Chain A
Amino acid sequence: MEGSGEPQLDAKAKVTNQLIDFQWKLGMAVSSDSCRSLKYPYVAVMLKLADHSGQVKSKSFEMTIPQFQNFYRQFKEIAAIMETV
């Protein structure tokens, strides 16, 4: 996504944060300091949010595959309901 100095905010940004960017990656954890042999897939999401003053913050989180499937189902439901509105 293009990043131009000030993010373009719409009216609702006065009340909630505005989503500027949504990045994701899919990875597999192979080893860690507590467990040397892993085979653990995960989805990492990096959000860029702007608050009402235009200040941009980054938030990131990870989901296991079951958590991601639940996440995905939520959006499918939202999309389905929007069709009926």
Chain B
Amino acid sequence: MLLDLSEEHKEHLAFLPQVDSAVVSEFGRIAVEFLRRGSNPKIYEGAARKLGVSSDTVQHGVEGLIYLLTESSKLMISELDFQDSVFVLGFSEDLNKLLLQLYLDNRKEIRTILSELAPDLPSYHSLEWRLDVQLASRSLRQQIKPTVTIKLHLNQNGDHSTQVLQTDPATLLHLVQQLEQALEEVKTNHCRRVVRNIK
């Protein structure tokens, strides 16, 4: 699968052959760092001054590199496809090799970063429970009613939230049985067949 590079993207990347390979390597390092931590515009200004070009040119060059790397990593394109995609830019063989190495070296980490961008449902963090006996309420005195109080700790996008729930032991037992049944489903033939086909 080849990457489809827009004209604007090609223009931005056209800056790369105008600097030497040490600078391109440095841009590559900056690109990956920006993917890890977020971008820092001051870096563009410093580099622009040293290279004697506008900071916009540097920014476009780095961003073009970032986009090239993320698109390639996202689609997990092969070495050959990457080389063919970059070939249309008309760069020197050395530059092409450098870009390929940059892709192969960072692909795994970029994919890990991209996987964290998927929408996130609240997920289980931990659980606290308490077994209580209800002795009286406003509407009924002289009771002996066992209840289970559960504090569910959840994580979503780094935020922590809690839910307090209360139920009786019979419902809790039913809940446990339903969950066990869900786990059992994983071992059925149908599920195994589906998993095998995906792999």
Which A residues are closer than 8 A to B by beta carbons?
A: 22-34, 41, 60
Contact = CB atoms under 8 A, between A and B. Distances in A.
Contact of B134 (A26, A32, A33, A60): A26
B127 interface: yes
Interface in B101-138: 127-138
Contact count band on B:
10 to 19
B135 A30 contact: no
Contacts of B155: none
Contacts of B129: 32-33
A23 to B, nearest CB: 6
A31 B132 CA distance: 7
Contact of A25 (B131, B137, B164): B137
B85 interface: no
Given A26-B137, A27-B147, A31-B131, 20 more contacts: A23-B137, A23-B138, A24-B138, A25-B134, A25-B136, A25-B137, A25-B138, A26-B134, A27-B135, A28-B132, A28-B135, A29-B131, A30-B131, A30-B132, A30-B133, A31-B130, A32-B129, A32-B130, A33-B127, A41-B135
A28 B135 CA distance: 7
Contact of A32 (B131, B136, B147): B131
Interface of B: 127-138, 147, 164
13 contacts: A25-B134, A25-B137, A26-B134, A27-B135, A27-B147, A30-B131, A30-B132, A31-B131, A32-B128, A33-B128, A33-B129, A33-B130, A60-B164
Identify the 3 closest CB pairs spanning chains A and B, nearest first. Answer: A25-B137, A32-B130, A31-B131
Contacts of B134: 25-27
A22 B128 CA distance: 27
A28 B127 CA distance: 20
A29 B129 CA distance: 11
Contacts of A41: 135
A29 B130 contact: yes
A22 B136 CA distance: 15
Contacts of A27: 132-135, 147
- Residue of A24, A26, A27, A34 most packed against chain B (CB within 10 A): A27
B162 to A, nearest CB: 13
